[in-house]
Amino acid sequence: MINAINDNGTGSIADAINYLKSDFDHKNNRRSVKPRDFAGSAEECIVVADSIERKHKYVSGTLSFRDGEKPTDAHLQKIVDAFRKTFMAGLEPGVNYVDYWNIHEDKGNIELNYVIPLVELTTSRQMNPFPPGKAKEDFKDAFDAYINHQMGYDQVVPDPIKASESKFERKVLPKSNSKSAEEFRKNKPTKDEVSDCVAHQIINGKISSRQDLCDFLENFGEITRVNDKFISLKPYGSEKAFRLKGPVYEYGADYKQIKIDHQTKNADFKKQLNDSDFEKVRATLERLTKSRRAFNKKLVSKPFGRRNKDRVYGEKKEKPVHDGGGTGSIGGSGSTSIKPISIEKEVPITKPIQPITDKTQTESKPITANISSSSGGKSDSSGSNNAPSSSDGISSGGSSSDSSIGGMQSQLNDLRTQISNCKNPAKAQALKSQADSLEQRIGVAVAAERIRKMKETLKNNTHNKFKK
C-alpha cells in the first residue's frame, strides 16, 4: 500500500468527486467494476469546499494497494480511522472537518480514494493534513510503512537510481499544446532515458562523485543550476530545462552505496521491517502525529474573540525609569542592556498516541489485533482525537439552535467583560478558563448547526428537483 497525494485542489471539488463516482475512467472507458462510496459525505464536502474563498480548497489522494494485497472492508475502515487519527490528529470528523472516501476496483487492485476540504469547520481557518516541506514526505512514508507492516504487506522500496519527475513534466507537459511544450517533447531526451544512462554509468563504476555526474550529464545538454537537492539540465535544442531529483543527484551522494541499494532493492530482507526498523518508523510516526495534534488543537483553541483575549489584567506595576544610561555608562542609572526576544519553537505538549497500536507492539501481526476498532463505518471519536464532547449540553448531531448559540455567545461576552474589569490575577485566570470552555462548546454547536443546515439544504434541493 502506498499513499499517492494528488497535486490538485484549486479547481472544482464537485468535478473531482464526480470523477471518483463516475462509471467511466480518465480515458472515457467504462469501468469494469462500478465505484462505490465507502466513508464520509460527498455532498457535505462539496458544500464546505464551495464556501472556501482561498485558492487551495481541498486535497485528494489514493491509498493504492498492490494486486496481491486484498484488504477486507473491515480492514479498510480501520485504515481510514487510522488515517484520520494520524493526519487530522486532535480533530473530529463531522465536527472539525468533513471528508469523502470511495473505492475503485476496475484495474484489478483496490484503490481507496479520498477528498478532504481544507477548512476547520468551527473556525473557518485553513486545515491541511499534508503541510508542505520535508515533514510531509516523512509523515506519509512513515504511515505507509506502519500500515504495510501491520497488514503484513511488502514495504515500498524506491529505486535510488531512478530520477523523480517534476510537477511540470508529470502534470503540465502532457496536457500542454504550446509551442514550448511541443519543442520540449520533441527535442529533449526523456527523464527516464537520462536516468537509465546515469544508472548504467553508476553500476559500471564510471561515476563515483558529483563532478563525474555533472561531466556525464553535459553530454545531454547544458547544466543550468546545481542545488543541494537537484541538478537542472537543459537538453541541446530545447528551450526548457528540467530538474533531475533523487538520491543520485543530491550533494554528498554515496555512489557505491547507491549501487548496492539499487542491486538489492528487490531483496526479501528489504520487503519487511525488522523490530529495530519498525521501532524507528513507529517513533517517527508518533512524533509527527503528536506535533500535528498540538498544531490542530492550537488551531481550534481560539475560534472567537479578540486577538489579545489571553491578556490577564491585574494591578499595574510602575515601570523603571530609564535615563538613557546602560550598564557601566557614566551618569546613567546602571540598567542592564535589553535582551533579544526569543521565539519559542512549536513543541508538542499533549501525550503521544498510537495511530493504530500500543507502543509495546513490535511484531507483525494481523491488523485486526492491532488497529483501534470501530463500528458501523464511523470513525472512533472516543479515541485520541481529544475533540470537544457533547457532555456539556451541546449535541454534536446538529440539534443546536441559533438562539442557544446566541445565548452562549452572550455569556461569553459577559465573561470577557468581567475579565477586562478584574484586577485579581487569580480570579481573572479562573474566568478565562470558563471562557475557554464556553468557546469550545460554542465551536461544537456552530459546527453541528452548520452540518445540519447543509444537510437540510441538500435535502430541499433534491426534493425540489424531483418536484420539477
What are the cell numbers at 282?
A: 513507529
Question: What tens digit of pLDDT does each residue of 271-311 get?
Answer: 788 889 899 999 999 999 999 999 999 888 865 444 444 55
Q: What is the pTM assigned to this prediction?
A: 0.56
What are the cell numbers at 68?
A: 496481491
Residue 164 is predicted with a pLDDT of 53
Q: Write down the domain spans for the chain.
A: 2-151, 167-263, 388-468
3-state SS class at 234: strand
CA 112/CA 109 separation, integer angstroms: 10
Residue 45 is predicted with a pLDDT of 95
388 near 408, Cβ under 8 Å?
no
Torsional sign, CA 387, 392, 398, 400: negative
Distance of CA 10 to the CA centre of its chain: 16
For the domain covering 2-151, report its CATH number: 3.30.930.30
297 near 386, Cβ under 8 Å?
yes
104 near 26, Cβ under 8 Å?
no
Q: Which of 117, 135, 95 is nearest to 48 (CA)?
A: 117
DSSP letter for 315, please: P
Residue 426 is predicted with a pLDDT of 85
98 near 45, Cβ under 8 Å?
yes
CA 131/CA 128 separation, integer angstroms: 6
Residue 412 is predicted with a pLDDT of 87
121 near 96, Cβ under 8 Å?
yes
Q: Which of 301, 279, 293, 276 is nearest to 352 (CA)?
A: 293
**Residue tagged 526548457 (cell numbers):** 240
* Alpha helical stretches, state H, 123-219: 134-151, 167, 179-187, 191-203, 210-217
Query: What one-letter code names the amino acid at 245?
Result: K
CA 438/CA 420 separation, integer angstroms: 17
87 near 139, Cβ under 8 Å?
yes
427-to-166, 272, 411, 413, 424 alpha-carbon distances in Å = 58, 57, 17, 17, 5
DSSP letter for 358, please: -
What are φ and ψ of residue 319, in 5° steps? -80, 140
Longest dimension (CA), the chain: 90
Question: What tens digit of pLDDT does each residue of 34-80 get?
Answer: 999 999 999 999 999 998 989 999 999 999 999 889 999 999 999 99
The one-digit pLDDT tens for each residue of the chain (468 residues) are 999 998 778 889 999 999 999 999 988 999 999 999 999 999 999 999 998 989 999 999 999 999 889 999 999 999 999 999 999 999 999 999 999 999 999 999 999 999 999 999 988 899 999 987 778 888 999 999 999 999 999 888 776 666 554 444 444 444 444 454 454 445 456 677 787 888 888 888 889 999 999 998 998 889 999 999 899 988 887 778 888 888 889 999 998 888 888 777 666 656 788 889 899 999 999 999 999 999 999 888 865 444 444 555 455 555 554 444 444 333 333 433 333 333 333 334 333 434 444 444 444 444 443 444 443 444 443 344 433 333 333 333 344 455 678 888 888 888 888 988 888 888 888 888 888 888 877 877 777 777 777 666 656 655 554 455
Residue 303 is predicted with a pLDDT of 55
261 near 243, Cβ under 8 Å?
no
What are φ and ψ of residue 12, in 5° steps? -80, 125
